[in-house]
């Protein structure tokens, strides 16, 4: 088996296979800011399969999301109970929301893809692969330079997580 296959097998049941490391990571991640740039991917196998390359112009960002916060905002003034409709959940996956938030924070980059890295009782964590559209190494690479003309892929629903979310509607 290749190295990536071993990593994939560990991530099939991370709580069981990673044990204490899993708990320590989640505790550390809770103390970090909501959006944080990471030096290298947590799940190398998944990042590589989604298009990540260890070269300049590729950025990995970890995004934390609060669970159960996909409701509409709370009303300021009174409403008839019939017209409250606050409980309606947005038709977007947490992963898609994470991609959009990261794209808004890193304006000069485009979200290539994203993957799940963890969850606990209060939060979800996703890592998003960003590509710097203006980086010379990206513009010179014929395999990825198509992304230089694409802006706001997550906002327009073109990432794989967004497309999966739209199919469920």
In this predicted structure, the answer to whether residue 82 has a pLDDT above a threshold of 80 is no
Strand 123-132 and strand 109-119: pairing? antiparallel
Locus of tokens 């808004």 = 104
Share of the chain above pLDDT 90, in %: 55
What kind and span of H or E run contains 66? strand 58-66
What confidence category does residue 76 fall into, taking pLDDT thresholds of 50, 70 and 90? confident
Angstrom distance (rounded) from CA 69 to CA 76: 17
In this predicted structure, the answer to whether residue 113 has a pLDDT above a threshold of 80 is yes
Cβ atoms of residues 63 and 102 within 8 Å: yes
**What is the pTM (predicted TM-score) of this model?**
0.85
Angstrom distance (rounded) from CA 13 to CA 159: 25
What confidence category does residue 69 fall into, taking pLDDT thresholds of 50, 70 and 90? low
pLDDT digits (tens, 9 = 90+) for 25-48: 999 999 999 999 999 999 999 999
Share of the chain above pLDDT 70, in %: 91
Tell me, which fold does domain 12-168 have in CATH? Ribosomal protein L15e (3.40.1120)
Closest CA to 163 of 99, 70, 116: 99
Cβ atoms of residues 59 and 132 within 8 Å: yes
Sorted by sequence, the CB contacts under 8 Å of residue 60 that are 6+ apart come out as: 37, 38, 39, 40, 41, 47, 52, 127, 128, 129, 130
Question: Sign of the CA dihedral 136, 137, 140, 141?
Answer: negative
Spans of all domains in the chain: 12-168
CA atoms within 13 A on the CB side of 147: 28
Q: Which residues pair with 131 in a beta bridge?
A: 58, 110
pLDDT digits (tens, 9 = 90+) for 126-154: 999 999 999 999 999 999 989 988 888 88
- Residue 79 is predicted with a pLDDT of 74
What confidence category does residue 71 fall into, taking pLDDT thresholds of 50, 70 and 90? low
What confidence category does residue 91 fall into, taking pLDDT thresholds of 50, 70 and 90? confident
């Amino acid at each position: 088996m290749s190295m990536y296959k071993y990593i994939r097998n560990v991530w099939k049941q991370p709580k069981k296979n990673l044990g204490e490391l899993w708990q320590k990571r989640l505790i550390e991640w809770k103390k970090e800011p909501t959006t944080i740039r990471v030096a290298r991917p947590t799940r190398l196998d998944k990042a590589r399969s989604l298009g990540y390359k260890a070269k300049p112009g590729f950025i990995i960002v970890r995004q934390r999301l609060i669970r159960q916060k996909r409701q509409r905002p709370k009303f300021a003034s009174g409403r008839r109970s019939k017209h409250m409709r606050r409980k309606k959940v947005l038709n977007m996956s947490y992963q898609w929301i994470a991609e959009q938030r990261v794209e808004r924070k890193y304006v000069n980059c485009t979200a290539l893809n994203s993957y799940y890295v963890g969850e606990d009782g209060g939060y979800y964590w996703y890592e998003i692969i960003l590509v710097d559209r203006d980086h010379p190494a990206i513009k010179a690479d014929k395999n990825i330079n198509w992304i230089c003309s694409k802006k706001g892929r997550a906002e327009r629903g073109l990432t794989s997580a967004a497309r999966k979310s739209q199919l469920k509607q």
